[in-house]
Amino acid sequence: MQEVSSVAGSTAPSRGRWGVSTSNLVRYYAVANRILAFQGADEPVLNLVHSFLSGYYFTPTKFSAEGPPPAHLIDIHRAPDSLPQPETAGFPIEDGYCYPEEEQLTLVVNGSTIVVGPPEQNRTDIWLVEETAGLHPLALNNVILYAVQAALRRAGLYQFHSGCVLADENDSGVLIVGDSGSGKSTLTVSLLNEGWRFVSDDNLLLHDSQNGITAWALRQYFTFDEPTLRACNLLRFADVIGSRLPSDPDKLRFYARRAFPESFTETCVPGVILFPSISTEIKSRLESIKPADALMRLLRQCPWATCDAAAAPAHLALLAKLASQTRSYSLIAGSDVFANPNSITELLKTTNQTS
Amino acid sequence: MNEPAFLPLKKIVANQLDDGDGVLVDLETRQYYQLNETAMLIWRAVENGRNLDQIVEEIVAAYSISNDRALASAEALLTKLQNHKLIRPTL
């Protein structure tokens, strides 16, 4: 990404800068054994958060004084019409800019501002401006998404775009990692049709646990375009095909957990990483990758590991541990992925992941 | 002279894998670099404040190569690290 300099002449926003009073409206959500707290300026704001989180494995929960404290607080304020820009140099992110400053991150997304505090504060503040809501239906979702991702990183949970499947009767997971269009969802659902279990097609949380790096399901649905639904023989599940994604209208939500109710598992410890690429070859094949090469490929999928200074050391250590605990392969996916999905299962047996 | 010749910059995060290879991340430029086992040995030596003679000694001890070859390897990598602004000279 190209580096840019911020121009507007004001300091980075800080809490209370606009005299916003703190609200008593708080809701708690559990995810991957952590609790995040959301404090809102009013009920509509918290309802917006709830609506956003309902597409993910965030479970509304109650806070107990005897239980663990929330790992992170996201405090959402309504702000004046326009906010001052940070003075520090920033760089572009999707729909906005990021301004790192020591261990604090300030994100300006669709006009609203997110301040991710230093680690000892365990809090992120959002200043929502009215103009954000007026941009397009996704604008507010994007703001919440960035804030939630940052809060999760501060809580030791790292969002990761990857499919994750498990061979039947085998608790060790296979991560399917690649850019959009590399065949992650197609391969995931081909294996589901072969009786494999699944955690996700594309959206996970990674966590460093006593058992090693653990993958948790994050998003509640898969996404497919119609040709892929047809090619993967998924149109037979018409009642679990949902609405189109506002951010990518070619893609439809597919609620795999309802189509394959016995196949879902919430979490697993990955033992293999596949980096697929679609080829014109007839027969799929695997090429082994050494851990350092795998780590470089993992980093490519994790841009925040290279710019969120407070989380970067732990984030990089987590990815390195993942690269070390797994065996990694390039999967050159041939036409047999569709023509004979069982061949992929047979191929993956060579990684010793299936019995 | 026991003074280190170079120091790693604070903006760099390093991680070494079990097989000795490693990765450096520059938080300022958001670039990342893959280092082989020998390069990681040199990086760790710089982190630990070793001077050039001590770095060469560590390479010779680890790989049983000549002083001249170890010196050439160390100087070449240190120049690259400096060019990428990952380390700075102490003087």
The ipTM estimated for the assembled molecules is: 0.91
Q: What's the Cα-to-Cα distance from B15 to each of A34, A319, B18, B23, B49, rounded to whole Å?
A: 26, 10, 10, 6, 17
pLDDT, tens digit, 9 for 90 and up, residues A182-199: 888 888 988 998 899 999
Q: Which amino acid is at A160?
A: F
Residue B28 φ then ψ, to 5°: -85, -45
Which is higher by pLDDT, A343 or A15?
A343
- Mutate which of A293, A306, A322, A326 to test chain B, going by most B C-beta atoms within 10 A? A306
Q: Tell whether B30 is within 8 A of chain A (Cβ).
A: yes
Looking at A72-86, A245-259, A278-292, which range is the least confident one? A72-86
**A230, two tokens:** 């047809």
pLDDT, tens digit, 9 for 90 and up, residues A169-182: 767 999 999 988 88
Q: A139: how many CB neighbours lie within 10 A of its CB? A: 18
Q: Which of B18, B32, B35 sits opposite A306 (nearest CB)?
A: B32
Q: Tell whether B23 is within 8 A of chain A (Cβ).
A: yes
Query: DSSP secondary structure string, B17-63?
Result: -TTS-EEEEETTTTEEEEE-HHHHHHHHHHHTT--HHHHHHHHHHHH
| DSSP single-letter state for residue A142 | H
pLDDT, tens digit, 9 for 90 and up, residues B58-91: 999 999 999 999 999 999 999 999 999 999 988 6
Q: Which of A91, A100, A316 sits opposite B13 (nearest CB)?
A: A316
CA A240 from chain center: how many Å? 22
**Can you give the pLDDT at residue A4?**
25
**Can you give the pLDDT at residue B1?**
52
Q: pTM, whole model, 2 decimals?
A: 0.90
Report the alpha-carbon distance of residue A104 to residue A340 in Å, rounded.
50
Q: In chain A, which residues have their Cβ closer than 8 Å to the Cβ of B21?
A: 290-292
User: Closest-CA residue in chain A for B40?
Assistant: A292
Q: Tell whether B62 is within 8 A of chain A (Cβ).
A: no
Q: In chain A, which residues have their Cβ closer than 8 Å to the Cβ of B35?
A: 292
**Can you give the pLDDT at residue A69?**
86
**Can you give the pLDDT at residue A74?**
96
Q: CB B13 to CB A303 under 8 A?
A: no
* Percent residues over pLDDT 90 in chain A: 64
